[in-house]
Amino acid sequence: MAQGNCLIANEWICGEYVRTRGEELTDATVQHVGITLASVGIGLLVAFPLALLARHLRFLAGPLLSLTTILYTVPSLAMFSLLLPVFGLSVSVVITGLVLYSLTILVRNILAGLAAVPEEAREAARGMGYGPVRMLFGVELPLALPALMAGLRITTVSTISLTTVGAIIGYGGLGNLIYEGMHSFFKAQVLTASVLCVVLAVTADLLLLGVQRLLTPWARKRKVA
């Protein structure tokens, strides 16, 4: 059967679909990446001060971690439905829900990374006249980067996956195509969009791994030794 007829035959693998729907696939991918970047970025901005607060006020650490864990257990469909009355039918519903999900991993990993900083490093910094802010950004955060980046990688990959659920309100990036394709049983659309989601997740993870290695050269040296 000619390749051009794979659309008529409704085949799973169809080059003609990719060729004729390139703009649609590009738009969906751009929306998917945009939602992911916004969600992870805002998640980091929210998680960082929360982790610092829990670190300095230790009685808040337990309740805060419990709250973020409870938020993570809320099914995505229910989460988006609960946010609809607040934000209306907009992309803010999806981004806010994904930010809330990201807090579980990010807050825990930031706290774990800071807790793993050797006390000797802090003592040496104090001896050199480092204040709390300079110590945080000049000593503690660089040493906590492996744990922080591990949390960021997990969060990014899970966010790419969860973004597809936003298709229920029309803001799911590639999830929109998957959702529409499943409704009409359009095989090529479902498979192509799903494969692109996997490619996005793997690419993002590899990029963040590369960034982690660039920012933590001492970790590579320790492994070699």
**CA–CA dist 103, 72 (Å, integer):** 8
- Tell me how far apart the alpha carbons of residues 172 and 78 are, in angstroms, rounded to a whole number: 15
SS3 of 118, please? coil
**Is 80 exceeded by the pLDDT of residue 222?**
no
Mention every residue, 6+ apart, whose C-beta is less than 8 A from residue 134. Answer: 125
The pLDDT of residue 131 is 81
DSSP string covering 23-88: HHHHHHHHHHHHHHHHHHHHHHHHHHHHHHHHHHSHHHHHHHHHHHHHHHHS-HHHHHHHHHHHH-
Alpha carbons 130 and 108: distance in angstroms, whole number: 26
Q: Give tens-digit pLDDT for 23-63.
A: 888 999 999 999 999 999 999 999 999 999 888 888 888 88
Mean pLDDT over residues 66-90, rounded?
A: 88
Tell me the per-residue pLDDT of 169-198, one tens digit each, with 9 for 90 and over.
888 889 999 998 888 888 888 899 999 999
pLDDT band at 218 (very low <50, low <70, confident <90, very high): low
Instruction: Kindly give, in sequence order, each residue whose CB lies less than 8 Å from that of residue 47, ignoring residues fewer than 6 positions away.
Output: 102, 103, 106, 107, 110
Residues 6 or more apart in contact with residue 174 via CB below 8 angstroms:
28, 29, 32, 163, 164, 193, 194, 196, 197, 200
CA angle 176, 23, 169 (to 5 degrees): 20
Angle between helices 217-224 and 187-215 (to 10 degrees): 80
Structural domains in the chain, CATH included, are: 3-224 (1.10.3720.10)
**Residue 56: what pLDDT?**
85
Nearest-Å Rg of the Cα atoms of the chain is 21
What are the residues whose beta carbons fall under 8 Å from the beta carbon of 48, sequence distance 6 or more? Answer: 106, 110
What's the predicted TM-score (pTM) here? Answer: 0.85
